[in-house]
Amino acid sequence: MIDVEDLIALVRNYNPGTNAELIRKAYDYGFRMHAGQTRHSGEPYFTHPVSVAAILTEQRLDDASIITALLHDTIEDTKSTYTEIASEFGEEIAELVDGVTKLTNLQLTSTETKQSENFRKLFMAMSKDLRVILVKLADRLHNMRTIKSLPQEKQARKARETMDIFAPLAGRMGMQWMREELEDLSFRVLNNEARSSIIRRFITLQRETGDVIQKITSDIRLELEKEAIEADVFGRAKKPYSIWRKMQEKQLAFSRLSDIYGFRVICGSESDCYRILGAIHRRWRAVPGRFKDYISQPKSNGYRSIHTTVSGRDGKRVEVQIRTRQMHEVAEAGVAAHWSYRDGARAKNPFAVDPAKWIASLTERFENGDDHDEFLENVKLEMYSDQVFCFTPKGDVVQLPKGATPLDFAYSIHTRIGNSTVGAKIDGIRVPLWTRLKNGQSVEIITAAGQRPQATWIDIVVTGRAKSAIRRSLREEDRERFIKLGQELARVAFEHVGRKATEKALRMAAKTLGLTDENDVLAQLGSAELTAREVIEAIYPELATRQAVEEIDARRAVVGLTADQSFRRANCCQPVPGERIVGITYRGQGVVIHAIDCPALADFDMQPDRWVDLHWHSGRHAPVYTVSLNATIANDAGVLGRICTLIGEQGANISDLTFVDRKPDFYRLIIEVDLRDAEHLHMMLTALEAESDVAQAERYRDLARKP
């Protein structure tokens, strides 16, 4: 295990001003918290957090990241708490440790729906502080380096999760070295036989051809010396997994692969990059279609470099990457370059991308999506994508993933343009919408009013933004069609029971059914998610056929009275079956029943001996309980008659009716209605409120009336 002083020395190498005391404190705290714990290998558990911290020193990260690495498992695996860490090390570090803990608890390889929800949480954690994912990646890297001690089944699960999620995420963040190592370590677990086969073929090839890397490196250096350009040249064979992936994609045998070697030239200035490119192209023939200029068109994660593939010594294809030293720092660290130190201070690398802007660009199009699986698909598309750069007719650059089509181009400009696309021109020539775009092409989108996305477009586009927009448009189009069908079904169903399917009636149905609005009711009716009967019953349940049920005798409706006690309902609150009640005894008058929330009960607070605990008899009651309703209706011919008819249709009887206010455009009246119970009252109010001629309908309680 790395000693604390050795760890501090690693940090001091790039940050002489480091807070050594705080690192020592964190080291000692973590050591104490993990005391007695061991890894699967039998080593003390604390060797893992220390190794994660050491990996982060290779990226020259700040003290907060190093300390977080030392403490990243304390909340999850020890008795330590967020509050304690915040008290000992500050809120910033506590937030980072808590963020890593939450990422560790995410089951990213669980069922698809849960996996997509957890991907959202992963990106939310990243958006708060990207250092959380930097620590998590270092944690995963060390776990993969020491994975042999785990059971085979767990090894395979971890390796698959690493290959599917963490490796491409590291690549998307610009940390290519970490992506390659994570892929290679996962490849060793998932298909060690294929990996070993590729390594054996490399050894055989080197024995047959000699040290090709050394020879080509010398050739490049010689060309640069002729041009008097100072630069460092490095060469390497590509990783086994990278070669395996190309063999699978191109369906080629190892012997037919050409560009299995990669070379990197690192120089002092941007102008030198283009001079080096010229020198290499003069010496060797460039391979068409294999040139990318990421200096003039940087990747979104800050990556800048020139890539070219040439036919080198003995006709072998080699890829050459050309970049400045500052560009190289970003290429190695990716988004992490934002926190890197150089010469004792936070590095101010002009090519380091702002992490907040980077994560915003990656997540902005997924924030409002409701479909978890769609979110997951879009995130994976974004993480695995390589890029092409195309131009609008005005010369603006549009950055798209490899394999993108003119439709992707159109949606990247604006959703409205994508939705109305009818054709496209590439470099002035009309092409099909499924054409794959190439670097440097000029794309013109042809639109037409009234055009709508087609279902087949989903299989043409590759960007998450385009797929989301197309699916959203198709859903809206289907919804419009279902609403129109639902309107006709509702009209027929309502006419069948002598009612009209007004907007107000449908809004009441939506409220009763727990839907958003009347259009939701119509859409579900049109798509057969709801039946017309269910919509009618939501507003007019009395119109539905019901089996005859024996009604409770009104004289036995209340439970809790003695044999010689009679009862009557209080006029002030008019309680009905289904409501909580209490009785108040009156000498010579029996028991008066009040609703439990009746304000009149306050008068009896000091007379507990008069209170009687009562409740309504369960079962179906007769419609004999008068309730006052306050209704405001339109002053128009026939309206009052229709309201009275409606009340009758609900199985209720009007016992009295009083006009309270008469205006030229409306009436306000108190209607005394005989009802069965609280549910019957609710149904009555719902039916009245659904009527377009009723402005308001509510229960009326007159507390001035004597009990």
Catalytic positions, please? 76-77
Give the bridge partners for 595, in sequence order: 581
**Rounded-to-integer distance, Cα 184 and Cα 167, Å:** 10
**Rounded-to-integer distance, Cα 60 and Cα 333, Å:** 9
Give the up-direction half-sphere exposure of residue 219: CA atoms within 13 A in the CB hemisphere. 20
Ramachandran class of 166: left when φ > 0, alpha when ψ lies in -120 to 50, beta otherwise:
alpha
Question: Judging by DSSP bridges, how do beta strands 292-293 and 285-286 pair with one another?
Answer: unpaired
Torsion of CA 95, 99, 105, 106, to 10 degrees: 150
The pair of three-digit structure tokens given for residue 52, joined into one six-digit string:
């994660």
Ramachandran class of 7: left when φ > 0, alpha when ψ lies in -120 to 50, beta otherwise:
alpha
**Which of 240, 124, 130, 138 has the alpha carbon at shortest distance from 189?**
240
Per-residue DSSP letter, 284? S
Contact 128, 99 (CB under 8 A): yes
The pair of three-digit structure tokens given for residue 611, joined into one six-digit string:
């209170």
Question: Judging by DSSP bridges, how do beta strands 581-586 and 590-595 pair with one another?
Answer: antiparallel
For the stretch 208-214, contacts whose Cβ atoms lie closer than 8 Å and that sit 24 or more positions apart, written own/partner, are: 209/314, 212/261, 212/313, 212/316, 213/237, 213/261
Cite the beta strand spans of 603-664 per DSSP E. 611-613, 615-616, 625-634, 653-662
**Rounded-to-integer distance, Cα 258 and Cα 311, Å:** 9
**Rounded-to-integer distance, Cα 670 and Cα 630, Å:** 5
Ramachandran class of 583: left when φ > 0, alpha when ψ lies in -120 to 50, beta otherwise:
beta
Residue with tokens 């019901």: 546
459, amino acid identity: D
**Rounded-to-integer distance, Cα 427 and Cα 435, Å:** 13
Give the bridge partners for 631, in sequence order: 669, 697
Contact 447, 417 (CB under 8 A): yes
Residues 6+ apart with CB under 8 A from 325: 266, 267, 268
Contact 382, 172 (CB under 8 A): yes
Neighbours of 414 (CB within 10 A): 12
